Amino acid sequence: MTTRTNARTQFLTDIYVCALEGGIGYWSTCIEYRWSTTQRAVIEDLEDVVHEITLDTIARGINAIADGSVAVSDSDYLRNLIRAASRSNDAGDVDAITADVIAQAGIYGEVIYG
């Protein structure tokens, strides 16, 4: 298990909730969703593949976009927004579209939908 500061955990949780409640619904169905105790969700994508989403998934997506290993549309703007949010642990500028891209990067290692 990864050790995180409270600020980092809250930041990742904010993006996790944003992705699940507003970002990824057009390409997935949520089968199981927890946010208050253990942040864990199970989703099924359009290909009927089941995936688990945790804070580690969100962190992996952020890191992959920030380091350039995952290509994103509007890459400079989006990459810089995600880097700035990650540095400050402030998800205030992360909207549902950005949370969706982060979740896809964490799940698939690329952005497939949208």
Per-residue model confidence (pLDDT) at position 55: 96
H helices within 1-114, ranges in order? 6-18, 55-66, 75-88, 96-108
Per-residue model confidence (pLDDT) at position 107: 98
* CA of residue 73 relative to chain centroid, distance: 16
Query: For residues 81 and 77, what is the distance between their CA atoms, to the nearest angstrom?
Result: 6
Whole-number average pLDDT of the chain = 93
Query: For residues 59 and 16, what is the distance between their CA atoms, to the nearest angstrom?
Result: 10
Question: How do residues 22-64 score in pLDDT, each as one tens digit?
Answer: 989 999 999 998 777 778 899 999 999 999 999 999 999 999 9
Which residues does 82 contact at the CB level (< 8 Å), separation at least 6?
62, 65, 66, 94, 98, 102
Per-residue model confidence (pLDDT) at position 1: 57
